[in-house]
Chains A and B, each alone.
Chain A
Amino acid sequence: MEKRMIAGILVFSLLAVFFFFGIFQLHPFGEPGQVQMDDYIITHTQNETGTNNGVTSVVFDYRGFDTLGEATILFSAVAGVLLIFRRVRH
């Protein structure tokens, strides 16, 4: 067995043990911990943004900067793909 394999097994088992002991420190499924911000958004989304859809109001209004970065990432991905295949197009 080569060194790379042994290192891989070591890292893999270490991460597995870490994950399996880590998840029992979380809140149980169905009972989230801190909900003040989300309760505020649910209560005020119809008055403040005029939208019925809470998720859209978060994506485009409360957290618009996230969507701006996401649009930038999509733009750079398109630019990267077009750059990689630049000689293919005629």
Chain B
Amino acid sequence: MIEYIPFIAVVAMILIGLYAVVFRRNLIKIVIGISIIESGVNLFLIMLGYREGGVAPIFTSLPPGTTYPPEMVLPVPQALTLTSIVIGVAVLALMLSLVMHIYRKYGTLDVRKIRRLKE
């Protein structure tokens, strides 16, 4: 049980973000929820690549006595997380721009009042 606590933290972060997405009405809060989900996914990717007592996979001034590979964390999940973070920033900027535009158009951020397309 004790070795699964980090994954429980990931699940808690994803559920908090999902709660904000499903139950909140404010568009800004929905965007914050999506951002929290993304942070949880990044944390999950990093955790999958962690090795017990490992150091970063960088050879510049490595701590003496390190036997690699068994004492280095996996580099591929870290690279994928780097990709994911930059994509997250791009998507966040696009979402916030659309939210700003919606606020100028409708004068509200409530998702239940933005239904001019429906009427």
Secondary structure dominating the interface of B: helix
Q: Are A12 and B22 in contact (CB under 8 A)?
A: yes
Nearest Cβ on chain B to A49's Cβ, whole angstroms: 11
Is B15 interfacial (CB-CB < 8 Å)? yes
Q: With a CB–CB cut-off of 8 A, which chain B residues contact A46?
A: 59
Is B91 interfacial (CB-CB < 8 Å)? yes
Q: Are A53 and B60 in contact (CB under 8 A)?
A: yes
- Residue tally, chain A, CB below 8 Å to B: 44
Nearest Cβ on chain A to B85's Cβ, whole angstroms: 10
Contacts A12-B22, A73-B90, A84-B97 given; does A41 touch B8 at CB 8 Å: no
Complex alpha-carbon distance, A69 and B106, angstroms: 35
7-31 of chain A: CB within 8 A of chain B: 8, 11-12, 15-16, 19-20, 23-24, 26, 28-31
Taking Cβ atoms with an 8 Å cutoff, the residues of A that contact B are 5, 8, 11-12, 15-16, 19-20, 23-24, 26, 28-32, 35, 37-39, 41-43, 45-46, 52-55, 57-59, 63, 66-67, 70, 73-74, 76-77, 80-81, 84-85
Which 3 A-B residue pairs are closest in the complex by CB-CB distance? A54-B57, A77-B90, A30-B52
29 contacts between A and B (CB under 8 A): A5-B23, A12-B23, A15-B18, A16-B11, A16-B15, A19-B14, A23-B10, A26-B4, A29-B47, A30-B50, A30-B51, A32-B74, A37-B76, A42-B68, A52-B58, A52-B60, A53-B57, A53-B58, A54-B59, A54-B72, A55-B75, A58-B76, A58-B78, A58-B79, A74-B90, A80-B94, A81-B93, A84-B97, A84-B101
